[in-house]
Structure formats: C-alpha cells, structure tokens
Amino acid sequence: MPGDLDVRSLRYFVTVAEDLHFSRAAARLYVAQQALSRDIARLEERLGSKLFERTTRRVSLTPAGEWLLGRARRLLALHDEILRGDTTGTPLFVDVAARGMTPGRILSHARRDPSLEFFARFHDGLGESLPLLSAHRLDAVFGRPEGPPPSDVDGMLVRWEPMALLMLEHHPLAEAAEVPLAALRGVPVCWSTGDHASPEWRRAAHRLLVDSDAEPSVEHPHVVGDEEIAHHLRIRDVAVLTLVSQPPVAGTVLRPLADPVPVYPWRMLWRRGDTHPGLAALRAAAAELAETEGWLERPEGSWAPIDNASR
C-alpha cells in the first residue's frame, strides 16, 4: 500500500505543473532542481503513476498528472485554510535574515503594538526560509528573491538599501567619508562575511565586485557574529561588503559606497491570503519607515542586482 502523501510534494507537483519546466519551478520554490526531481519521483512512486512526460525540449502532464492537478490544488487550499484558522492572539514567526539590520528594524517597529506577539528566527537566506513559509513553520520572511516567488506567496519591496564597506580603522579606504566604486579596483574585498550574507546576497555582492574590478576574496565558510567578524577582519585585513544598516563591530569603521550608489532590494514575503494581524503590523511598519526615511527612493543611477533592478 502506498505511503501517505505529504504537503510539500504536492506543492512541488503543482508548481512544476504550472510552469511545465523543472528548472523554473525549482527557482520559484528555492530548492535544487535535483531535490525537486527526487520529490516528484517519490510522489509518482507513492501514486503508482507517472505524472510528467519529459523530453529534452518540453515537459507535459500525463493523464494521471492532469487528474491529480485539480485535486492537489483543492487539497492544498483546504490545508492552508485549516492552518490559517483564527489567528487572533497567536504569535507570528518571522525570519529577519540578519540581526540588527533592516528587517530587524521593521520587526522592532511592529512590536510597538503590545497586543501582538512576534518570534524572530534567522536562516541562511530564502533557500531555507521560503520552504518553511510554505509549510506554515514561518509566517513572514525577508530577503532578495532571484526570480518569481512561489505561487502561494505574496510580497512587497521594503527598501533599496545602500551598500557599504566595513573595514579596520587603519584600512587605506577608511579615511574618506564615502568610498567611490572606482576606488575598489584591485582592492581585496570579502563578500561572504556577516549575518546578512545569505546565498542570494553573496551572488549579488560578487556581481558588484566583478563589475567594479575589485578582487573578490576567496569564498570561505559563512562568518557571523560581531566577535567572529572582527576576528576575520583582523586576520585577513580585507574590507567586507555589507549594508549601511550593519551593526557596529569593535575596531572597525563603516563607509557607504558611492558613484554610483549600489543598492540591495529587501523584500518581505508572506503566504497569500494570510490574515494574521501581525502581518498587517509588519506591512504598516515597513511602509511607515519607508515613508519617513525614504527607503523606497532609489538613488538616481544606482547599481542594483540585474534580476531585481526593475522591481
């Protein structure tokens, strides 16, 4: 007898069925294509039916796949409706991506309402947090999507955040009030250090350094926490690419980048149709901070990751 169906496999199936393209579906789901194919194969094994016909040129649904699609959509909608239920008084679980930075400020702003309870979590980018969002283990996440979000997810741009360099006080670039991008030419710069350095950040940061003719440092294990960041800077004596909301690190200075200003697009994402009052508070907090501090005013001529430049 086949085993029970799991919700994740059904979500994966529906996404592939909507795109009829495994790599695009994997990008929407923020999972590796190999993992997506493996889960679809397991679902086919449980059902005892092939769901997709795959050639080098196209993907199409089999009759069994067509039969399952409508039922899977209805089952997922019912599952989400049951889990949503009455959210009054229940805490909201938020992945703020990095301690003390822009998403954390939005969360702190929303917490001014004493009737709402929030729990903050920290994951290494949307690749880890988005599946937890779809699985109802998180309620809101922050990051930089690198493609269309999953079909059951809504979102909003919350900030075009300027990038900056974090350096030891004696670093040659530390003397100026801001650092022109041209000054990075030939300069060793680390792009994978800091709580904010998720995989989607690292790809954007590396692209900026290559575009600026800097010398991206050799990629290394993710360094997080003030003490570890300070130690990393001391032993390597490089500048670290970060954001202007970077919390202070002892013995270092933070200098914004300019000419042009490179910006990072922070977005907040949540499940479509979720009516939790904490989500409304987060959206209102983001909108208020954007209004008072100009977060959505992208500097003229600024550099941004290509896949988010027009969003």
Is residue 304 assigned to a domain?
no
Is 161 in contact with 241 (CB distance < 8 Å)?
no
In a 3-state reduction of DSSP, which class is residue 156?
strand
For residue 101, give both structure tokens.
């930075």
Is residue 309 assigned to a domain?
no
Phi, psi of 157 (to 5 degrees): -75, 130
Q: The CATH number of the domain where 29 resides is what?
A: 1.10.10.10
CA pair distance 48, 287, nearest whole angstrom: 49
Is 162 in contact with 244 (CB distance < 8 Å)?
yes
| 128 lies in the same domain as 271 | yes
| 154 lies in the same domain as 273 | yes
Is residue 311 assigned to a domain?
no
Rounded to an integer, the average pLDDT of 220-235 is 81
| 181 lies in the same domain as 255 | yes
Is residue 310 assigned to a domain?
no
CA pair distance 258, 158, nearest whole angstrom: 21
- What is the DSSP pairing of strand 263-271 with strand 239-243? unpaired
| 276 lies in the same domain as 151 | yes
Q: Which pLDDT score is estimated for 282?
A: 97
Residue 303 has pLDDT above 70, yes or no: yes
Higher pLDDT, 44 or 27: 44
Share of the chain above pLDDT 90, in %: 54
Is residue 305 assigned to a domain?
no
**80-109 pLDDT, tens per residue?**
666 655 555 578 999 998 888 999 999 999
pLDDT band, very low/low/confident/very high, at 73 (cuts 50, 70, 90)? confident
Is residue 59 assigned to a domain?
yes
**Number of domains making up the chain:** 3
Domain extent for 165: 160-263
- Residue 137 half-sphere exposure, CB side, CA atoms within 13 Å? 11
| 195 lies in the same domain as 232 | yes
| 167 lies in the same domain as 252 | yes
**38-56 pLDDT, tens per residue?**
999 999 999 999 999 988 8
| 138 lies in the same domain as 278 | yes
Burial label for 186, CB within 10 Å (0-12, 13-18, 19+), is exposed
Phi, psi of 288 (to 5 degrees): -65, -45
Is residue 43 assigned to a domain?
yes
| 122 lies in the same domain as 67 | no
Q: The CATH number of the domain where 97 resides is what?
A: 3.40.190.10
Q: Which helix (H) or strand (E) holds 54?
A: strand 52-54
Burial label for 120, CB within 10 Å (0-12, 13-18, 19+), is middle
| 257 lies in the same domain as 169 | yes
| 152 lies in the same domain as 169 | no
Is 193 in contact with 213 (CB distance < 8 Å)?
no
pLDDT band, very low/low/confident/very high, at 309 (cuts 50, 70, 90)? very low
| 151 lies in the same domain as 272 | yes
Rounded to an integer, the average pLDDT of 115-139 is 87
| Locus of tokens 């209805």 | 74
Q: Which helix (H) or strand (E) holds 265?
A: strand 263-271
Rg (CA), the chain: 22
| 149 lies in the same domain as 118 | yes
